[in-house]
Amino acid sequence: MPNWLKIFKKNKKQNVKKGKDISGQATVSISEDEIGTDLDENIKKIIKATGNSSDIVIRKMHLSESIRFAVLYTDGLVDDKTINDFILEGLIHEKEIPYPVSAEHALHFIKNEIIAIGGITSIYRWDDLFQSLFSGATIILMDKANEALSVSTIGGEKRQISEPSTETTIRGPREGFTETLRTNTALIRKRIKNPNLWLETIKIGKETQTDVAIMYINGIANDDIIKEVRKRLKRIDIDSILESGYIEQLIEDQTFTSFPTLYHTERPDVVAANILEGRIAILVDGTPFILTAPALFAEFFQAADDYYTRFDISTGIRLLRVLAFFISLTAPSIYIAATTFHQEMIPTLLLITIAAQRETVPFPAFVEAVIMEVSFEILREAGVRLPKAVGQTVSIVGALVIGEAAVQAGIVSPAMVIIVSITAIASFSTPSFSMAIAARLIRFLFMILAATFGFYGLIIGGLVMLIHLCSLRSFGVPYMSPLAPFIKNNVDDTITRMPIWAFKERPRLISQKNIIRSGKNQKPQPPKQHSDKNGEGK
């Protein structure tokens, strides 16, 4: 007796307990949700359910005179070569089954003896059949059998791995995520070759049935955070998930805030580094942007190549980014407050120059700043939406032409053009677009406060923003940690970066297990001076 027949008889006892008879007759009436035993009726039901769609390929075949079956797949989602070489080729050349068996015996013979592909599963329900069919699997239906085989043949057109366009680095890997979930998980596994790197996948979206996966290292990630991520994902009840931005908005801790509480990236090395710190990665099929949680405020000022250069250079660049962030946030409001309420704080010569420039300007400083900021935001948005070949040209030339024309027309002063230009350039220094756009929105609130109360309003706005930041949580973790609350052992990688050998522990509030990165002191030590026989050093 062949091995596949022994396996089949073993499964027969299990299926009979479930109320199914392997001979093709059901011991109980089959539900409408379950696949029927009539091949022609099953095919008619599939054609009707899919609206006779032209991309659903159905091929009827015979394994013997009495055994009929059909092969179904969705054109464009499968690998045609795999189907032809490993499924159809074997079925065509296999003329007879060496044993007189029933239809479901024949199905298991195909599964164990003919198809030379891994990832074969048995399905009994229509929902599972359609889910597999539209996920790139090949379905094999057998006449007189209320069971179907789903063979993994995922393929089709997909974008090749290329360098991320939104996160360019001077030094570091040039690989970026794609829109294919399995490609993205492979890019992470290539960097973390650890059996404790676990992957869990669920389907979200009643209509789209999008694959959403979470990846984490068991033993490093916090179990409470993992449970919270699972809980928030499972409670999502929505028609469609088309991008990771849907997931981000549905699981974030605080909706009414401009600051991002989840981090997204296109770089596999960044995701791998975050997972090694104890974070959880959330991958969504169909998008190259991967979410990581929890996210901290300091994380949005860090770039991938900070860890590939010396610590003193990385620290200086990070401090420069933080300075640029506060410039982009407060530069126009400081100018408004100083020129409107606190002229005594401006040096006399500079004040005379500014006053001479504003002599022909008919608007107050606040209106002047709003005109320039709104104009620049429109130009920036137009540059993003236009084709790449002309987008940058339009935004640069448009800014130069409009700025010069506005000054000559007396609508704005040259000083205001300089302030807005510095603000725009500073906003580009923030590595994370989601944090940079938050500063762009809050900037207008600071301008209103400065125009109303001067520096007092600016200070009040800064205090309110700081209180708001300290009140935020990302999956229960304080947003401003390890600065607030202050954790001494974790401040070595925040707005500054210590040498790699000084990283002793993982973030305590993110990873509460296995927090020690390495047990030995890795500090570089120069070799001792050698001496020759005469005692002279060399």
Structure token digits, residue 163: 């360098």
DSSP string, 154-214: B-S--PPP---SSS--SSS------S-HHHHHHHHHTT---TTEEEEEEEE-TTT-EEEEE
Nearest CA among 285, 72, 90 for reference residue 177: 285
SS3 405: helix
Joined tokens for residue 230: 């699972």
**pLDDT of amino acid 393:** 66
Full DSSP string of 279-298: -EEEEETT-SPEEEES--GG
Report the percentage of the chain scoring pLDDT > 90: 51
DSSP 123: E
Q: What is the percentage of the chain residues whose pLDDT exceeds 70?
A: 88
Question: 225-249: string of b/e by CB count within 10 Å (b at 16+)?
Answer: bbebbeebbeeeeeeebeebbbbbe
Radius of gyration of the chain (CA): 32
**What's the whole-number mean pLDDT along residues 154-162?**
84
Please give the mean pLDDT across all residues of the chain. Answer: 85
Q: What is the pLDDT of residues 486-529, one digit of tens each?
A: 888 888 888 888 888 888 888 888 887 778 776 666 777 777 76
DSSP three-state, residue 459: helix
290-293 and 263-265 strand pairing: antiparallel
The model's pTM: 0.85
Dig out the tokens for 83 from the structure. 């189907």
Neighbours of 47 (CB within 10 A): 13
Measured between alpha carbons, how far apart are the two ends of the chain, in Å?
79
Alpha-carbon span 380 to 107, nearest angstrom: 60
Collapsing DSSP to helix, strand or coil, 141 comes out as strand
| pLDDT for 87 beyond 60 | yes
74-91 mean pLDDT: 87
Question: Which has the higher per-residue pLDDT, 510 or 28?
Answer: 510
- Dist CA 375 CA 369 (whole Å): 10
Does the structure show a pLDDT above 50 at 404? yes
Q: Supply the pLDDT for residue 400.
A: 73
Q: Which residue has the tokens 């707005």?
A: 495
More confident residue, 12 or 456: 456
Count of residues in the chain: 538
| Cβ pair 298, 211 in contact under 8 A | no
H or E segment at 451?
helix 433-453
User: What band does 22 get if pLDDT is binned at 50, 70 and 90?
Assistant: very low
Q: Which residue has the tokens 């065509």?
A: 92
Asked whether the predicted pLDDT for residue 442 surpasses 90, the reply is yes
| Per-residue confidence band for 531, with pLDDT thresholds at 50, 70 and 90 | low
Tokens of 462: 């800064």
Q: 424: left (phi > 0), else alpha (psi -120 to 50), else beta?
A: alpha
- Say if residue 21's pLDDT is above 70: no
Give pLDDT, residue 8: 41
Is there a contact between 63 and 155 (Cβ–Cβ < 8 Å)?
no
Q: How confident is the model at residue 57 (pLDDT cuts 50, 70, 90)?
A: very high
Q: Return the H-helix or E-strand segment holding 152.
A: strand 148-152
Summarize pLDDT for 265-323 with one digit per residue, the tens.
999 999 999 999 999 999 999 999 999 999 999 999 999 989 999 999 999 999 999 99
Q: For 107-141, how does the pLDDT look when each residue is reduced to its tens digit (9 = 90+)?
A: 888 888 788 887 889 999 999 999 999 989 999 99
Asked whether the beta carbons of 61 and 69 are under 8 A apart, the reply is: yes
pLDDT at 73 over 60: yes
Residue with tokens 């298991």: 108
Q: How far apart are CA 237 and CA 501, in angstroms?
A: 45
State CA 315 to chain mean position distance: 27
Mean pLDDT on 362-370? 92
Mean of pLDDT values over 54-83: 87
Please give the pLDDT value at position 360: 84
Q: Identify the pLDDT of residue 528.
A: 73
Residue 260 bridge partners (DSSP):
none
| Pairing status of strand 148-152 against strand 120-123 | antiparallel
Instruction: State phi, psi for 34 to the nearest 5 degrees.
Output: -100, 150
